[in-house]
Amino acid sequence: MGHGSWTARAYSTYASTTGYTDKSVHEVFSSRAVNKSLNPFGVTVRESRDSDEHPNSIPIILGLDVTGSMGIYAHEIAVTHLPKLMNGILETVTDPQIMFMAIDDVHASSPAALQVSQFESDIRILEQLREVYLVAGGGGNRSESYDLTWYFAGNRTVIDSFEKRGQHGFLFTFGDEEAPYQTVTTEQLKSVFGPGEYSSMTPEQMLKQAQEMYQAFHIVIEQGSHYRRYPAEVRSSWTNLMGSNVLFLKDSAYLSDLVLATIEIANGKDMQTVIQESVCPDILTYAFTNSLG
């Protein structure tokens, strides 16, 4: 996977042919169950590999909370943000390879606690994103299984950027609920990922595993209904878990700008310069509250 390249022309052709940008959320995401190609059950590895076409591959994982009202942001990403994000990433990152994950709640016994695409570099990433099943479920424990993205990244991906060059990939999760806090049991891991040897793991342990190969960030979508009800709890839980790597987005219209700015800063560009050169300096200043102290 990861062959081909995203181009504005290919996207324009796809959008024109499918008419998907004018479709409702349930037309864009028409799946009524987990697509077999996105089911992590039995998946041993997803690969981000170098090739003649992409000799310096960089994996970027985007994990979306697809429960309840957050499903509208998956729609927003597919219709609005992904084209801008891909074009911006191509200007910022050499040979990007994108993976989407969709997040529900393993503690609510969800049949779709996690969905995982391949790593892709061209229009196929949009095609896979549109196969995501919008669960619209969630549980009553005031969090979702963001930590399963960390587990998968740390245990089920192989990335040449790290193995060959010691270069970390990027992992972003997006949501409006508190940080995960419950231990995921061996049986729960087995139910999501299939037969194998497992140990019960805390969110902190899974995050640490992911951070061995990825720079991990979480973006709190403050327009989400849960955040609006419990802002203090959401902010403190994520800050306590991830420190300056939790980012606060008060207007989802600037999601792609925030992701791109974060990648630029992580790659060594001065934060204040990135903020000042952006189209949304106030949004970014607010988002990086924890980093700015």
pLDDT digits 0-9 by tens, 128-164: 989 999 886 655 678 999 999 999 999 999 999 999 9
DSSP-based three-state secondary structure for 12 = helix
Give CA angle at 139 (224, 205), nearest 5°.
90
Give the C-alpha separation, 241 to 177, whole Å: 13
H-type helices in the chain, by residue range?
8-18, 25-28, 71-76, 82-92, 124-129, 146-156, 160-165, 186-193, 203-211, 225-229, 231-242, 255-266, 271-277, 281-287, 289-292
pLDDT band at 292 (very low <50, low <70, confident <90, very high): low
What separation in angstroms does the CA of 209 have from each of 105, 145, 260?
20, 16, 24
Segment 188-203 mean pLDDT: 97
pLDDT averaged over the chain? 92
Closest CA to 219 of 251, 185, 184: 251
Structural domains in the chain, CATH included, are 8-220 (3.40.50.410)
74-83, 164-173, 201-210, 211-220: least confident range? 74-83
Give the C-alpha separation, 115 to 22, whole Å: 25
Give the C-alpha separation, 126 to 61, whole Å: 13
Segment 251-256 mean pLDDT: 92
pLDDT score, position 138: 56
Amino acid (1-letter code) at residue 87: N
Give the C-alpha separation, 288 to 293, whole Å: 9
Length of the chain counted residue by residue:
293
pLDDT score, position 184: 98
**Residue 51 pLDDT greater than 70, yes or no:** yes
Helix axes 146-156, 203-211, angle to 10 degrees: 40
Query: What global pTM score does this model have?
Result: 0.95
**Residue 109 pLDDT greater than 60, yes or no:** yes
pLDDT score, position 166: 97
Segment 82-110 mean pLDDT: 88
